[in-house]
Structure 1
Amino acid sequence: MPGTVGRVPTPSAPNPGASAGPGATGAATVLAHPWADTPLGPPDGWDPAVRAVVDLVLASPVPMALLYGEDLVLLYNDGYAELIGDRHPAALGQPAAEVFADLWHDPAAGQVVTRVYRRGEPYLEREAVLPVDRHQGGHAEPAVFTRGYSPVRDSTGQIIGVLTVAAQTTQVTQQLQSLSDFAAALSGTLTLDDVARVTLRYCLHSFDADRVSFVVDEGSAWRMVRRVRGELLDEADERLPPLWRRLPADSAVPNAVTARSGVSSFVGDGQPLRDSAADRHDEKIRAIASLPLRSTVIRGALTVGYQAAHPWSPAERALLAASAELVGQAAERARRFETQHGTAQLLQRSMLPEQLPDLPRLRIAARYDPGVDGNAAGGDFYDAFVLPTGALGVVLGDVAGHDVQAAARMGQVRAALRALALSDPRPDAVLGGLDRLVASLGTEGGTHELFVTVVFGVIEADRERVTLASAGHPAPLIRRCPAEGDPVAEYVEVPPAPPLGLGGRPRTVTVPFRPGDTLLLFSDGVVERRWQDLTAGLTGLSAAVTAASSGDPRALCAVATAAVPGATEDDVAVLAVEHAVKPSRSARMEVPAEPTAPSRVRHWLTAQLTDWQVPEAVVGAAVLCTSELTTNALLHAGTAARVEIDLSPERLLVSVADSGTRGQVTRAQTDTLSSRGRGLGLIEELSDAWGTDPTVRGSTVWFEILIPPG
């Protein structure tokens, strides 16, 4: 049983200055194990979350083990190898029930691990007295252990194993459990914002500190974020990007000093922040520990401070060193992810249209969300363009793959489709030409594994109809809004045809598209979920679109992407076109990145909506929400923003776009509104729908308020 059996090593005082890793030999031995012969499979095929947990285990000086899969196969570090004694190295890669067969049926052993794995609930056992293999006198002696277990989840959120942390004393029982939870939480972080949030929360509570700060390099300078005891953060605050403060390269802040030197420092009593205090919270700090992040691609440091004198015990220094080691590993992964993610997403979005057509009777919106972990370019694409006949061409397609090659093929298909449509806009002719192109690309590339699906339509607003053709793509959905009766969403029965490149002959169908109707094109990532029937996904999408508060394209895109519960590993693309009952009115304002900008936005928006004779209640709510979103964009993006408003007889749509957000705004449900995070709560309360859309650069936050009848 992990942490319950094995030889007990003689305790020794930890050395905070020593390397916190398990040693190159130990890590290399573990990774060189033939994992391909176990349920884990070869390391190059491990799920990113599994790989992250393995990195944490191997980097930790604290005894740790990962028990993977239904068989609970063991993977552990050097500290854990010392605990299990003679069972190592044969235990590596073996089921825990076989390794600890003599103890596995004990209620305090195998049943505990199995319960954590099945129920997903962490477990801490204090002062467990269990027999261990101490070969002194020829018999086993009891020893006192503290054991912490946490469930480990893969990228889809499914429990795939158990992370265990073990120790032979109870002096830091709660901190050990927190360290186990901390490691599990860090394994799920993707960005430096995520790492900062998890780290500050953990250190403030686990060490009962008065101040915690975290600094990382940013080119030739530094950026730092901190938390102090007593800060009231509601759910909205926690989900917003942390407030980073920029520091010069030669800053005297202890974090920066430690990050530059790479040497830990501990002050038990004094004025460690006297020369760098930012406010009264810093001035009160008397004791501080500052530890560097051990990483090859990022420099940084972690500090924990107290307002009273604080003796830093050897055990506490070791725990801080272990925490900093975990943070360093997570920060390194985050830096790599952000670099790769930015490149992949810029490539992906640069191939999508930056601007969709602005037409008086057709309102258009689109949304693209990357699948997997967002760290690769995908093949989903959409487009909308005006044809020589005056009609609107709309397309949504899917090129299989999540790599640069898939994105390049997507760009070729999208460019070819637009060229074909501009010469002959008939949907069957366009897809027929694309079929020949994809077949040619497959032949030139020496592969017949190209899998491309696409749906193309021509909307003629004056004739109130849309003509569609599909090549292996999910059928489009139309939300019909009759003059009398409730809205209803129905799938268009497009004649079936195989994916492109297989010599199919797509056929067309023409259906009515009247004022008030909205056409929705979507990729299979919207409705497909693992372990769920496709029919359930299609039904869920139809029901969600039917129940939407309006047929506004942007709102329907948000509704569609959230219609089917559960995570998806595929890209998600949606394109919506509304045939407006009446033309809408629109205006925009460029907002400079300066303190007076929110006030200017409030005055401009109030004047514009009043001139349009918008009801006073709607004006008040819209101005308040827009002011908060503008402030949020300027605060977290640090760049100029753009405010756009669109007024139709049914609703007011307002969007605020920035060009440099460091983090993604997340929908927040909150009852308590704080001064900094209240914008999200206000939008929840005052709008009928809201959401966020990624753009080629930055992101857009929007909200919709319905206009009362009359």
Structure 2
Amino acid sequence: MAGGPKAVEPARPWSQTGLGDPSGWDPALRAIVDLVLGSPVAMALAYGDELTLVYNDAYAAVLGVKHPEAFGRPAPEVHADVWAMPGVGDVFERVRRTGEPYLETEASLPVVRAAAGTLEHAVFTRGLSAVRDGRGRIVGVLTVAAETTQVTRRLQDLSALASALSATLTLDDVARVALRYAVSSLDVHQAAFGVDDGTGWRMTRRVRGEVLDEADERLPPLWRRLPGDSTAPLVAAATDGTATFRTDGQPLRRTALDRHDQKVRALAALPLRTASLRGALTFGLEAAHPWAPAERALLAATAELVAQAAERARRFETQHGTAQLLQRSMLPEHLPDIPRFRIAARYEAGVDGNAAGGDFYDAFPLAGGRLAVVLGDVAGHDVRAAALMGQVRAALRALALTDPDPASVLRGLDRLVANLAAEMRSDEIFVTVTYGVADPEAGRLTLASAGHPAPLLRRSATGPDPVPAAGYLDVPPGPPLGLGGRRAAVAVDFAPGDTVLLFSDGVVERRGRGLAEGFDALAAAVSAAGGSDPRSLCAVAVGAVAGPTEDDVAVLAVEHASRPSRSAGIQVPAEPTAPGRVRHWMTAQLTEWAVPESVVAAAVLCTSELTTNALLHAGTSARVEIDLSSERLLVSVADRGTRGTVTRTQTDRLSSRGRGLSLIEQLSDAWGTDPTVRGSTVWFEILIPEGQAGVTPAPGG
């Protein structure tokens, strides 16, 4: 607010008030003051610990003889005669303390109006909401007193917008929240959000009347790329840093994407400018509109809030991307394909996604058709933890390929970690690990542990009791690596149809809940799972214990398959013709494998939709893989990123993104999403009806 206040001048300079010099104001405070001073409705901001009052002309009329001396003074002093009354001072303090908005539709408040200074009772629709700075801290209380509920609703919506934006992490989140607010609360026909993206721009749009279900909301917004020299009003506002308001005409005619853009007659374009981001918001109406000063102030406040959230999101994405790339680059990008084993893994970062964690897993083939499996946890959430994790994982592979005996491998790792701790002169290195060798010919699983949670074994659903049982294996925990001590291994039966789950403590630990409760919940969920497929069981394990986790989560599941499965895959380009190619290929492949027609129809439809979704939200080529056993069909669709674009522009030929996930929920028996080293994977599983498995799959088929 370089020009200072617009409506009411303070009785003394700004620097002598609790707000200080305007040049040092937080952008969020600047936006709120602009909103207050530019509004024709009675508004007042009580700022800081002293609740310094800033208000507009309409609120000055409410104050009566207390104006103009009230401007810049603490609210408790200005309203000393009524501050102790219920519904006055106590409400201010509660809103400032809790951040929860307060609304009173019929507030009868004593107000000094007359020249003699007598009290009158006036009725207001009064709303109070917390004001936050750019870092999300509560710095004041905003009051609005109006005779219409519309203004109060917009104030509540603005407060709700600030609250929703404070919970966003990524630019996808910011775009989703900002556009939903614009269409539902500002009552515009369409809104667009755009940011700089290398040499160009990317933007996403929301049109009023679009039907978005939960599945749509879980998918990333559909971003469109714009060239760096685009003449679109959004790009012009982002480039120039100047807000523009078109009251009538065809402002989007030259850059219209579709009929929705062509219908826009009035358009407001507001820049989003921060230290590391350039962007803009546009709001379009299909009728001429004058854009009153109060509306412009409201839109400016909205843009300030969105800009600060977008700045935080960009910083988070940069840090998060670096940390996650480091984390996942040290994990196996592909798990081994061994005929008698089905293997899946799941890794999810904890609450602080900016940090690189120390959870790790691995699986690799050994001589004689055996399989080595490992899951460990290095304490810490920093680059050092991730680097140590990489050293431990690499050393474990080297030791196992020389002598795979679990006890021997852990003894070697123990010496390594002790040596690293001495070299680093640190006694804070804490590494736990479970390592095992699965032998399909002997039907045995040999395991050893160094302070890690015991693996969970899900037995095959055979015999008189068809319900599979899951129980924790009695593996001597031993001390964590680097502390010496005895390393013992145990061998257990690992029959065809059995599945073992190795997991980190983040799967079962929750704040405020006992660890035994978490272990019980995990065992119960795995026992009750409808299928034994490892990918499905990983998803079940991650969601077994309710509540958010503050630690990283890693799960590795290995099934000793009753029979080998058949598998096939296809790489599809980012083109609108790709879903059709996938449908044709998959129908032919499943028909050749004698899969029941009902399963083929459901699987082809779901896979086509998932391919469409991958191409739309990632813009890269996609990898479709199918795996058929005698019990189930597993399909996965993997993309390689989230920032590309479909290579052709006819994206309207591709079906609705939300429809894909809705179809999966209806037609599959289990489904989920997995992060990968780069990109993400969506998968689903359809059980084969008993007796309709068709041709028995052959090894290597």
User: What is the TM-score normalised by the length of structure 1?
Assistant: 0.83
Which residue is equivalent to 1:581? 562
Q: Does 1:190 align with 2:190?
A: no
Which residue is equivalent to 1:3? none
Q: 1:62 to 1:561 in 2, by over 3 A?
A: farther
Q: How far apart are the structure 2 equivalents of 1:286 and 1:304?
A: 11
Query: Quick one: which amino acid aligns to residue 210 of structure 2?
Result: E
Max Rg structure? 2
- Aligned to 2:202, the other structure's residue is in SS state strand
CA contact 1:653–1:705 (8 Å) conserved in 2: yes
Q: How far apart are the structure 2 equivalents of 1:100 and 1:561?
A: 56
Which residue is equivalent to 1:301? 280
Q: 1:514 to 1:263 in 2, by over 3 A?
A: same
Q: 1:170 to 1:324 in 2, by over 3 A?
A: farther
- Give unmatched runs, 5+ long, in structure 1: 1-8, 14-21, 31-54, 65-73, 664-673
Q: Does 1:400 align with 2:390?
A: no
CA contact 2:233–2:269 (8 Å) conserved in 1: yes
Share of identical aligned residues, percent? 64
Q: How far apart are the structure 1 equivalents of 2:388 and 2:368?
A: 28
- Aligned to 1:61, the other structure's residue is in SS state helix
CA contact 1:149–1:162 (8 Å) conserved in 2: no
Query: Quick one: which amino acid aligns to residue 264 of structure 1?
Result: A
Q: How far apart are the structure 1 equivalents of 2:293 and 2:71?
A: 30
- Aligned to 1:566, the other structure's residue is in SS state coil
Shift of 1:62: 6.7
Which residue is equivalent to 1:46? none
CA contact 1:428–1:507 (8 Å) conserved in 2: yes
CA contact 2:19–2:52 (8 Å) conserved in 1: no
Q: Does 1:493 align with 2:457?
A: no
1:82 counterpart (23, 44, 53): 53
Q: 1:168 to 1:655 in 2, by over 3 A?
A: same
Shift of 1:135: 14
Q: How far apart are the structure 1 equivalents of 2:385 and 2:120?
A: 61
- Aligned to 2:52, the other structure's residue is in SS state helix
Which residue is equivalent to 1:106? 86
Which residue is equivalent to 2:544? 563
Tell me how large the CA RMSD over aligned residues is: 3.5
Which residue is equivalent to 1:656? 637
Q: How far apart are the structure 1 equivalents of 2:201 and 2:539?
A: 37
Q: How far apart are the structure 2 equivalents of 1:223 and 1:214?
A: 9
Shift of 1:189: 0.9
CA contact 1:264–1:290 (8 Å) conserved in 2: yes
CA contact 2:54–2:71 (8 Å) conserved in 1: no
Could you list the per-position Cα deviations for residues 523-561 of structure 1 after superposition, in whole angstroms to 9, with x for gaps in the alignment? 000000000011111000000000111111100000000
CA contact 1:290–1:301 (8 Å) conserved in 2: yes
Q: How far apart are the structure 2 equivalents of 1:10 and 1:640?
A: 54
Shift of 1:320: 0.7
Q: How far apart are the structure 2 equivalents of 1:410 and 1:498?
A: 18
Counterparts of 1:29-68 in structure 2, within 5 Å, are: 60-61=32-33
Which residue is equivalent to 2:507? 526
Counterparts of 1:266-665 in structure 2, within 5 Å, are: 266-484=245-463, 485=465, 486-662=467-643
Q: 1:170 to 1:261 in 2, by over 3 A?
A: farther
Q: 1:276 to 1:561 in 2, by over 3 A?
A: same
CA contact 1:105–1:111 (8 Å) conserved in 2: no
Q: 1:294 to 1:550 in 2, by over 3 A?
A: same
- Aligned to 1:398, the other structure's residue is in SS state strand
CA contact 2:612–2:657 (8 Å) conserved in 1: no
1:222 counterpart (184, 188, 201): 201
Comparing 101-110 with 202-211, greater Cα deviation is found at: 101-110
Which residue is equivalent to 1:124? 103
CA contact 1:164–1:180 (8 Å) conserved in 2: no
CA contact 1:27–1:58 (8 Å) conserved in 2: no
Q: How far apart are the structure 2 equivalents of 1:104 and 1:493?
A: 66
Q: How far apart are the structure 1 equivalents of 2:563 and 2:433?
A: 31
Query: Quick one: which amino acid aligns to residue 472 of structure 1?
Result: G
Shift of 1:274: 2.7
Query: Quick one: which amino acid aligns to residue 634 of structure 1?
Result: L
Q: 1:647 to 1:168 in 2, by over 3 A?
A: same
CA contact 2:53–2:74 (8 Å) conserved in 1: no
Shift of 1:500: 1.4
Shift of 1:516: 0.6
CA contact 1:126–1:170 (8 Å) conserved in 2: no
Query: Quick one: which amino acid aligns to residue 604 of structure 1?
Result: W
Shift of 1:60: 4.1
Shift of 1:694: 0.5
Could you list the per-position Cα deviations for residues 155-177 of structure 1 after superposition, in whole angstroms to 9, with x for gaps in the alignment? 9xxx9999954235456221111
1:693 counterpart (674, 678, 682): 674
Comparing 219-228 with 526-535, greater Cα deviation is found at: 219-228
Q: How far apart are the structure 2 equivalents of 1:388 and 1:285?
A: 68
- Aligned to 1:373, the other structure's residue is in SS state coil
Q: Does 1:211 align with 2:183?
A: no
- Aligned to 2:640, the other structure's residue is in SS state coil
CA contact 1:129–1:142 (8 Å) conserved in 2: yes
CA contact 1:57–1:77 (8 Å) conserved in 2: no
Shift of 1:115: 9.9
Q: 1:322 to 1:438 in 2, by over 3 A?
A: same
Q: Does 1:263 align with 2:242?
A: yes
1:166 counterpart (143, 146, 160): 143
Comparing 623-632 with 479-488, greater Cα deviation is found at: 479-488
Q: 1:547 to 1:315 in 2, by over 3 A?
A: same
- Aligned to 1:560, the other structure's residue is in SS state helix
Shift of 1:573: 0.2
Comparing 233-242 with 412-421, greater Cα deviation is found at: 233-242
Q: How far apart are the structure 1 equivalents of 2:540 and 2:153?
A: 43
Query: Quick one: which amino acid aligns to residue 163 of structure 2?
Result: A
Shift of 1:504: 2.6
Could you list the per-position Cα deviations for residues 366-389 of structure 1 after superposition, in whole angstroms to 9, with x for gaps in the alignment? 010011231121100000112235
Q: How far apart are the structure 2 equivalents of 1:286 and 1:23?
A: 40
Query: Quick one: which amino acid aligns to residue 143 of structure 2?
Result: A
Q: 1:512 to 1:213 in 2, by over 3 A?
A: same
Which residue is equivalent to 1:49? none
- Aligned to 1:186, the other structure's residue is in SS state helix
Shift of 1:125: 2.7
Q: 1:297 to 1:517 in 2, by over 3 A?
A: same
Query: Quick one: which amino acid aligns to residue 599 of structure 2?
Result: V
Shift of 1:310: 1.2
Could you list the per-position Cα deviations for residues 28-79 of structure 1 after superposition, in whole angstroms to 9, with x for gaps in the alignment? 799xxxxxxxxxxxxxxxxxxxxxxxx8568643799xxxxxxxxx995699
Q: 1:579 to 1:192 in 2, by over 3 A?
A: same
Q: How far apart are the structure 1 equivalents of 2:326 and 2:112?
A: 57
Could you list the per-position Cα deviations for residues 205-233 of structure 1 after superposition, in whole angstroms to 9, with x for gaps in the alignment? 22211121111111121112112222222
Q: How far apart are the structure 1 equivalents of 2:298 and 2:131?
A: 21
Q: How far apart are the structure 1 equivalents of 2:23 and 2:548?
A: 33
Which residue is equivalent to 1:147? 127
Shift of 1:450: 1.0
Q: 1:133 to 1:690 in 2, by over 3 A?
A: farther
Query: Quick one: which amino acid aligns to residue 212 of structure 1?
Result: A
Could you list the per-position Cα deviations for residues 237-286 of structure 1 after superposition, in whole angstroms to 9, with x for gaps in the alignment? 23221112211222221111111110111122222223222222222222
Q: Does 1:681 align with 2:662?
A: yes
- Aligned to 1:593, the other structure's residue is in SS state coil
CA contact 1:292–1:324 (8 Å) conserved in 2: yes
CA contact 2:46–2:141 (8 Å) conserved in 1: no
Could you list the per-position Cα deviations for residues 336-366 of structure 1 after superposition, in whole angstroms to 9, with x for gaps in the alignment? 1111111111111000001111111111110
Query: Quick one: which amino acid aligns to residue 413 of structure 2?
Result: L
Q: How far apart are the structure 2 equivalents of 1:247 and 1:581?
A: 53
Q: How far apart are the structure 2 equivalents of 1:556 and 1:150?
A: 44
Shift of 1:116: 11
Comparing 137-146 with 285-294, greater Cα deviation is found at: 137-146
Query: Quick one: which amino acid aligns to residue 424 of structure 1?
Result: D
